[in-house]
Amino acid sequence: GQQLNQSPQSMFIQEGEDVSMNCTSSSIFNTWLWYKQDPGEGPVLLIALYKAGELTSNGRLTAQFGITRKDSFLNISASIPSDVGIYFCAGQGYGGSQGNLIFGKGTKLSVKP
Amino acid sequence: EAEVAQSPRYKITEKSQAVAFWCDPISGHATLYWYRQILGQGPELLVQFQDESVVDDSQLPKDRFSAERLKGVDSTLKIQPAELGDSAMYLCASSLAQYHRDSNSPLHFGNGTRLTVT
C-alpha cells in the first residue's frame, strides 16, 4: 500500500532558528496537506497544496508540492515557542483505492526559548 | 470558524465492554471520516462516508467495529467488545468533497476521543 516517509522524526532547535521537514512517497499524490497537532487535540490544517511545483506560504510557514508529485516539504522560519508540536504531512491520490488521505508518522518539534 | 464536534473527549472502559463515539461534522460537509491515531503515529483511516454511504471501510475491523451515518449528517463509531489494543485517539474529520483538490476543501479534524481500555 501507499506509504509516506516523513523526516526527521524529531527536532530540537533554538528559538529563532529556521526549521525544515519533508515527506516522500513511493506513489504519486495529487494533493499534499500539512497539519500541526498539539497534545490532546486534533490535527489543525496549516497549508494545502494542489498543484505540482506549487509553493505556498502561510505566515512564517512555507510548503512546496514537489515536481515529481512524490514529495513535499514544510519550512518554518524564525521559530517561536508556540511552534512546538507534531507536524504531519498527508497525501491524497485520485480515484479508487488511491483516494484515501495517507498520513506520515509526524515530526515532533521542540523549541528552546 | 465552524468546527467538527466530537464526544466524549475521554473514555475509559474495561475490555469486553461496548463503547461508542459521536461526531458532528462541519455543516454542509458531505464527506466524513473516522481515523484512529495510536500514540506516536499518524492518523490511520478506519472508515469514510460520502453522505450516508460508506465509501471505504477496508481498514475497519468489522468483527468488532461498526460505523453509521444514518441521515448523512452526524455519525457514530462503535466498538464491541473493546480490546486492550483499541486504546488510542479516535478522530473524526469532514470535508466538502472526497477529493480535496476538487473543491479546494481540505480535511478538518475534531479534537478526538481519547479511549483507554483497561
Asked if A5 contacts A24 with a C-beta cutoff of 8 angstroms, the reply is yes
B45 in contact with A, Cβ within 8 Å: yes
Cβ neighbours of A30 in B, within 8 Å: 99, 101
Q: Is the pLDDT confidence value at A98 over 70?
A: no
pLDDT tens per residue across all 118 residues of chain B: 679 999 999 999 999 999 999 999 999 999 999 999 998 899 999 999 999 999 889 999 999 999 999 898 999 999 999 999 999 999 999 988 766 666 667 788 999 999 999 9
Asked if B110 contacts B43 with a C-beta cutoff of 8 angstroms, the reply is no
Q: Is the pLDDT confidence value at A1 over 60?
A: no
Kindly indicate the confidence band of residue A20, based on its pLDDT and cuts at 50, 70 and 90.
very high
Q: Is the pLDDT confidence value at A95 over 60?
A: no
Decide if A31 and B45 are in contact by the 8 Å CB cutoff: no
Q: Are strands A107-112 and A10-14 parallel, antiparallel or unpaired?
A: parallel
Mutate which: A100, A107, A108, vs B, most B CBs within 10 A: A100
Decide if A88 and B43 are in contact by the 8 Å CB cutoff: yes
Cell digits of residue A6: 516523513
Cβ neighbours of A101 in B, within 8 Å: 33, 45, 100, 107
d(CA B82, CA B72) in angstroms, rounded, equals 26
The predicted structure's pLDDT at residue B107: 83
d(CA B24, CA B21) in angstroms, rounded, equals 10
Kindly indicate the confidence band of residue A6, based on its pLDDT and cuts at 50, 70 and 90.
very high
Distance from CA of A100 to the nearest CA of B (A): 8
The predicted structure's pLDDT at residue B1: 66
Decide if A30 and B110 are in contact by the 8 Å CB cutoff: no
Decide if B107 and A106 are in contact by the 8 Å CB cutoff: no
Q: Is the peptide bond before B81 cis (omega within 30 degrees of 0)?
A: yes
A21-45 mean pLDDT = 92
The predicted structure's pLDDT at residue B102: 65
Q: Is the pLDDT confidence value at A39 over 90?
A: no
Cβ neighbours of A92 in B, within 8 Å: 99-101
The predicted structure's pLDDT at residue A113: 87
The predicted structure's pLDDT at residue B25: 96
